[in-house]
């Protein structure tokens, strides 16, 4: 039985990937930073091979975690932080996402691991699209410390793979949603649920999304698919939405009215600059489209759950779980 190590196993994506791997008949080992972190209890209910590796950086000891492993799925990362406290954010991101990833890959290659599946980010291409969706061959153009660190990690991984023969697979998802989601998507759901008037009616953008189940299915395909080795894949559900359309759909699923008011985008951007919220407004106003044609062609992958059904499941989770906490 093939053994797969999943880092960041207790995270939003990691939990679903572990479940999908287990359902697929793989032996799964979960690596977590701290046994007291959120989500570890869930992982321990799904699999019985959970290892604490401590902080991830250029000196992490991966020896126990890598013992007997055939494939590494590296999901652990320092992600976007809304209220950054680091005096040097780029170096903080690099410590985990570049140095930590590089050390894991080197040790994996030395331990005889055959394949390394790295979950990167669509943000390495930039924070917006104009005339067409991003494709895998588009140049890197990262705009944030997080995106820069993810791109640098990819560069390091390709160098290690070339020297060692480690089979590298890179997956770059856009915004991921599904039951248990946090971050910007959860924030939008809370806004819609409260029925607040939102000055977003003049936004005419298009953004791609990927449901957690669809993403997990693609990641699991990358474990053994012979044509995945050495490749990079972008992935999306296939239906792109504007920000106003997204909020309207969420509000309808939650049984709330969508109060979306017109406001010039330029005014939104100027107001955001006064409060240091430019990144938030960029995500609301910019288009960011992704083509998953390569994943469909090379891997034979198709989204198993439509965006409509995926949103419905996410809204049900929110109504059942998050509303009770308010």
- Mean per-residue pLDDT, 4-16: 97
- CA-CA distance, 21 to 29, in Å (whole number)? 10
Q: Is the pLDDT of residue 290 over 60?
A: yes
Nearest to 16, CA basis, from 179, 169, 172: 179
Q: What is the pLDDT of residues 233-276, one digit of tens each?
A: 999 999 999 999 999 999 999 999 999 999 999 999 999 898 88
Domain 3-172 has CATH 3.40.50.720: yes
**Residue 324: pLDDT band with limits 50, 70, 90:** low
Residues noted as catalytic:
146
Q: Is the pLDDT of residue 325 over 60?
A: no
**pTM score, whole prediction:** 0.95
Domain locations in the chain?
3-172, 183-204+241-288
Pair 298, 228: CB distance under 8 Å: yes
Q: What is the pLDDT of residues 39-78, one digit of tens each?
A: 999 999 999 899 999 999 999 999 999 999 999 999 999 9
Return all residues near 32 (Cβ < 8 A) that are at least 6 apart: 8, 9, 10, 40, 43, 50, 51, 52, 53
The whole-number pLDDT of residue 87 equals 80
Concatenating the DSSP letter of every residue in 38-89 gives: TTHHHHHHH-S-EEE--S-STT---HHHHTT-SEEEE-------SS---SSH
pLDDT more than 90, % of the chain? 90
The whole-number pLDDT of residue 278 equals 86
């Amino acid at each position: 039985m093939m053994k797969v190590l999943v880092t960041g196993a207790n995270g939003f994506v990691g939990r679903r990937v572990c479940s999908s791997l287990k359902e697929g008949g793989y032996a799964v080992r979960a690596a977590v930073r701290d046994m007291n972190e959120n989500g570890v209890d869930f992982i321990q209910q799904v699999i019985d091979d959970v290892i604490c590796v401590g902080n991830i950086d250029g000196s992490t000891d991966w020896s126990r975690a890598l013992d007997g492993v055939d494939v590494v799925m590296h999901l652990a990362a320092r992600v976007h932080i809304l209220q950054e406290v680091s005096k040097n954010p780029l170096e903080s991101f690099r410590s985990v996402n570049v140095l930590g990833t590089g050390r894991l890959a080197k040790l994996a290659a030395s331990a005889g691991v055959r394949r390394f599946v790295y979950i990167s980010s669509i943000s390495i291409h930039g924070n917006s699209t104009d005339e067409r969706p991003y494709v895998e061959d588009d140049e890197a153009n990262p705009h944030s410390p997080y995106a820069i660190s993810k791109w640098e990690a990819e560069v390091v991984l390709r160098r290690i793979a070339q020297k060692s023969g480690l089979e590298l697979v890179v997956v770059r998802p856009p915004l991921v949603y599904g039951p248990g989601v946090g971050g910007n998507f959860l924030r939008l759901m809370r806004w819609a649920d409260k029925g607040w008037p939102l000055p977003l009616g003049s936004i005419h953008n298009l953004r791609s999304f990927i449901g957690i189940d669809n993403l997990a299915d693609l990641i699991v395909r990358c474990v053994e698919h012979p044509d995945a080795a050495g490749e990079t894949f972008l992935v999306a559900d296939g239906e792109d939405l504007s920000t106003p359309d997204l909020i309207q759909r969420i509000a309808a699923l939650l049984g709330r009215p969508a109060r979306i008011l017109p406001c010039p985008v330029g005014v939104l951007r100027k107001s955001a600059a006064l409060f240091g919220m430019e990144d938030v407004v960029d995500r609301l106003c910019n288009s960011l489209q992704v083509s998953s044609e390569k994943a469909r062609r090379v891997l034979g992958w198709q989204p198993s759950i439509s965006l409509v059904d995926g949103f419905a499941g996410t809204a049900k989770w929110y109504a059942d779980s998050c509303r009770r906490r308010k």
